[in-house]
Structure 1
Amino acid sequence: MFFKLLLLLVCTCLSLPSFAWEDTDKDGVPDKKDACPETPMGVVVLANGCQEISDLIPKSELQNLDMQQNKISHVSSKQGLKIYFDFGHEDVLTTQLPTIEKMLPLLRESQNILLVGHTDNVGSEQINLNLSLQRALSVKKVLVNQFDFEPSGLTVLGKGSLEPAVENNTAQQRQLNRRVEFVVKK
Structure 2
Amino acid sequence: MYMNLNRNMLRRLAAAALAGTMVFSLAACGSKGGSSSSASTSSSSSSSTSSSSAQDDDAKTQQADVLSAILVDIKGNVEVGSAGSSLKAVPYAVSLLDWASSSTLSQEEITAIVNDMFSTIPADDSAADEYNEQLGLVNADCQVLLSDDAQELLSEAGCTDVDTAAWSEQTAGVLGLVMAAAGVEG
Is this a same-fold pair by TM over 0.5? no
Q: TM-score range by the shorter chain?
A: 0.3 to 0.5
Q: Normalising by the residue count of structure 2, what TM-score does the alignment of the two structures yield? A: 0.35
Structure with higher strand content: 1
Q: Normalising by the residue count of structure 1, what TM-score does the alignment of the two structures yield? A: 0.35
Structure with higher helix content: 2
